[in-house]
Structure 1
Amino acid sequence: MAEPTCQVTLCWSLAPRHVQEMSLQVPEDSTVEAVLDLCVAQWLQSQGSADAASLSSLKFQQPGIWGHKVAWGHRVQAGDRIELYRPLKVDPKVARRQRFKRQGKGRTGLFANRKSGSAAGY
């Protein structure tokens, strides 16, 4: 008798704005790590060994299912979307501060139409 399988999707991005997605049939009760190993094997079979080094770096990314971080040993279920998250290069708070500084705090947003002589923000 054949082992029961389930359909999952694995998504990863090796570069900004360049997302790869692969649907896989995996045995039930597979772990996230086993799904990644199966994906890498199928990818190398279909694409060749050109991306072998970059695919091996996927192990160093944080896995998640539907936007929630999980451990590598987490069991997958039918219909799961497994995502591999790259580490942030810039802290989002720092990036926002830099954007705000470039825009200028006195000319945009709530502060654009203030009365002359009034305090900032009123």
Structure 2
Amino acid sequence: MAPAEPAALHIELVWSPRPGCVLTERLLLAEGSTLAQALDASPRFVADRAGLEAAGPLSVGVWGRVQPLDATLRTGDRVEVYRALTVDPKEARRLRYRATGRRIVSRHRPLAGKTSA
């Protein structure tokens, strides 16, 4: 009888080394692995990590929710590495408005009371 293989987790690691560039890597980790172990398991991410940390502190999350590095992962998790913001989002919208002269309207928030009936 063959020995049972240890359970494995299928994880997706996503990070952005620079604006406009998003890298994704699929990882196979041992059952019970943590966020820190997932980050260390990717040679591509390890190569980018020093440059990312130079810009500011990194945050790490699973499916859009920030988690501590000792959080245990489950199969199918999407581990996301967040860079520090370089520009305030409100200021970025103001700069885009000045450049284009058009108001940017979000599709997700209706203009309540600002349209004619």
Say if 1:58 and 1:84, in contact at 8 Å, map to a contact too: no
The residue number in structure 1 matching 2:92 is 95
2:66 to 52, 64, 69: 69
| Structure 1 alignment gaps of length 5 or more | 45-50, 110-120
Q: Indicate the SS of the match to 1:96.
A: helix
| 2:77 pairs with 1:83 | no
The aligned counterpart of 2:13 is 10
TM-score normalised by structure 2 residue count: 0.69
Q: How many pairs are equivalent? A: 99
1:78-116 deviations in Å (ceiling 9; x for gaps)? 000101011110000122233334555xxx56xxxxxxx
The reply on whether 1:30 has 2:33 as its aligned counterpart is yes
Give the root-mean-square deviation of aligned CA atoms: 2.7
Among all aligned residue pairs of Structure 1 and Structure 2, give the percentage whose two residues are the same amino acid: 32
Give the 3 Å change call, closer, same or farther, for CA 58–35 of structure 1 in structure 2: farther
The 1-side partners of 2:98 and 2:89 are apart by 14
TM value normalised by structure 1: 0.67
**Higher alpha-carbon Rg:** 1
Rounded Cα–Cα distance in structure 2 between residues aligned with 1:57 and 1:71: 21
8 Å CA contact retained: 1:65, 1:80: yes
Query: Which structure shows the bigger proportion of residues in helix conformation?
Result: 1
Point out where structure 2 has 5 or more consecutive residues left out of the alignment.
Answer: 104-114
Distance 2:98 2:52 in 1: 35
Q: In 1, Cα distance between the equivalents of 2:98 and 2:22?
A: 31
